[in-house]
Chains A and B, each alone.
Chain A
């Protein structure tokens, strides 16, 4: 634990505090120095802490020598269940003294970094600690509304950084579903939040606030009109993506039995694909066949995911991009949405929401396709 709210100070600040304690205890003018990292702190952050510690020690008049010093100071960054712990051990011959300082919560770890046929590109938009199910952006791309469990978080781009600026509770009546699915729809002056079994609406016009009601139908899918799914023998399905070829629309649907099924004009399945993950969305790139379906890999939520672009022709699916890796499972793929636009701007990309297994954060990515590798 970090009881005295060390979160208000940076890691380097806390390292300086520890250095100050150490300097007060070190009576010698010079010491030899060692450092060890036995925590999950990343190398870059550890180096920053060590640098701050050494600088402060020297600022307080303690010289650090390679050898020949009267005492030895060993700085170790360790951790317990929730917090990084700085430990400075001062050894003088057979005697030793140990000093401690909390350095910060382990949740301060940075989210997974973005490393920076058709080529599939990803762009990290923002991250948040709490679960995220869907995102709608403003047309200028400087504001995003992220649907979570019973809340909507607003993020704004300020000085090049995304900042969480507001959280609005959605008074859902139905308990959250473990499958973590949701759909956010912004109209001109109204908002609808879809969760499994319920829809909550807010209208700016009538000023009545939120109203929630039971919703037993299949949750809407951005970019897939209801009429495209009407009359088809779908079964219990999870995700859908549409694409067009030779002027004809087709739809692919992933089902809870782990198979993806292709439908054409009629009600029957025309092809079955195996080895797909449950999340799919399509993008109209204008490259290759013009449309690609982005699919995740099969697996559960304990393993990192990949996304691949495929093209479907004559009932066969063919991968047309390299796999894009993520630091955790993709919990949702949606056609990218902007406020006030039609249901899914198919050439604005695909939204991928990822649960970063290293940091625990939920990250929103925009996936786009460009022609050629």
Chain B
């Protein structure tokens, strides 16, 4: 498996909400950790570490019965105290979790009708912290080792074999290679594959080549390579749109505080063309903060593109507002080529309405400036961000976004999952025009030709324990001496479901 990430932390406490890095880490963490509940592809909650759940009439108190006989990878039996210790740091402050009988109780002063959606996604994994600070889980795989350098020909060096129980933790160590092996004692059943080797920090084009050559079975694929992969007859899977690219205005540059200028910028943008042409239809134009598959009401928001109106507004503003002397500075906060492309396109769109936008790199310098130019770090009035959705509860996701972007009045935060309230909240945030959605982009995964039972969730959760690899076709023989079986029958099943 090849990922584009530069560093990985498998500690849910360290993940940054909304980041693409956290989404990647969550996928790997899902190999070794489990949650109380999961959501299947049919919209049904499935018990994982919990087998039953119930709540009071006001949805303020939920009780979960824990599955018995579940063991951590060191053989210790999972108990309620473990669940409390793992989840309490991850739950929002208003939610309290306590052990109760053979299970746990989660309580809050406010109703939590969407608690299951919240627990079935994102960081809410159950783990145990070992004496040495390492984390262990109950999942279908164990961390078997990690390496921090890749030598010639891609061979991992500096390989550290773990005791087979530890997850890497602490600060997102720069690993290049991780190995996960099957957990023979997993309550959910041993995975079909014996091991998963993960290489991180692989450039997108290199990953594509490796997939073509059969050197990788699964690779993260960037949107700009999807069409090429399809032309090469490679299998590519696309999730639902899970990453929002957008603009956030920042009062650090005075111009950004002008509501009229914000409106002019918003109306000058052309998300349709960005998605359809620039991103080659590998993205969708966004007019809402939450995607349609998550909120169910995103279709109610419409695009604001109106270049003529943008020009009118701009003409009525002072000449130096986002003009030649003081352009609006755009900092591309998101990493990757897609973000750079979007930033450039935003500047092009805005120029058509006589709004001058100057792109800064992430270090705060003007793009194209040399270190000797004497540019101090200049405050940016505009940021291009990428927000990766992680929660299946629209309320949680919206408030998490609002808090991270510092938009929307905190006092106006929605405490219920009532769609009318959520819609009103989102409408209010968008009307302020401090954030402007551009496009939403799926995740793309290149899949090797021998991979079978690839059944991820459409919101991007990979389910690798069910995946198996088809072996090259066996040469049939009429007599089988001694009843022997072909090697690797676990990982190689040719032409038949296991």
Contacts and interface: CB of A to CB of B under 8 A. Distances in A.
Interface of A: 1, 3-4, 38, 76, 78-83, 85, 87, 89, 98-100, 102, 105-107, 109, 129, 175-179, 233-236, 238, 254-259, 261, 268-272, 274-279, 298-302, 329, 359-360
Contacts of B480: 233, 235, 261, 269
A164 to B, nearest CB: 15
A326 to B, nearest CB: 13
B187 interface: yes
A106 B191 CA distance: 29
Contacts of A109: 42
Contact of B189 (A102, A176, A234, A270): A176
B113 to A, nearest CB: 3
Given A1-B393, A234-B483, A258-B474, A79 B296 contact: yes
Given A38-B299, A87-B297, A276-B496, A81 B465 contact: no
A82 B477 contact: no
B423 A98 contact: yes
A157 B308 CA distance: 68
Contacts of A302: 452-455
A97 to B, nearest CB: 10
Interface stretch (B311-319, B327-335, B485-493): B485-493
Nearest to B467: A300
A333 to B, nearest CB: 12
Given A87-B300, A233-B481, 14 more contacts: A1-B116, A3-B59, A79-B296, A80-B394, A82-B39, A98-B297, A100-B418, A100-B419, A178-B192, A178-B498, A259-B495, A270-B478, A272-B476, A301-B455
State the majority secondary structure of interface residues on B. loop
A81 B392 contact: yes
Interface string B183-199: 00111111110000000
Given A129-B44, A269-B480, A274-B495, A3 B417 contact: yes
Interface residues of B, number: 66
B423 A100 contact: yes
Given A270-B478, A278-B496, A85 B296 contact: yes
Contacts of A98: 297, 300, 420, 423
A81 B113 CA distance: 14
20 contacts: A1-B117, A3-B417, A78-B296, A80-B295, A80-B296, A81-B459, A82-B45, A100-B418, A107-B43, A129-B44, A178-B191, A233-B479, A234-B483, A236-B489, A238-B496, A256-B486, A256-B489, A272-B478, A274-B476, A298-B497
Given A82-B39, A272-B478, A302-B454, A257 B493 contact: yes
Given A78-B299, A81-B392, A360-B42, A269 B478 contact: yes
B485 A257 contact: yes
B141 to A, nearest CB: 13
A193 to B, nearest CB: 17
A270 B478 CA distance: 6
A235 B117 contact: no
B484 A235 contact: yes
Contacts of B45: 82
B498 A256 contact: yes
Contacts of B492: 257
A351 B492 CA distance: 28
B494 A301 contact: no
Contacts of A89: 300
Contacts of B40: 360
A134 B217 CA distance: 34
Given A107-B44, A274-B476, A278-B498, A81 B485 contact: no
Nearest to A299: B497
Nearest to A105: B43
A93 B477 CA distance: 77
Nearest to B112: A3
A269 B498 contact: no
Contacts of B493: 256-258
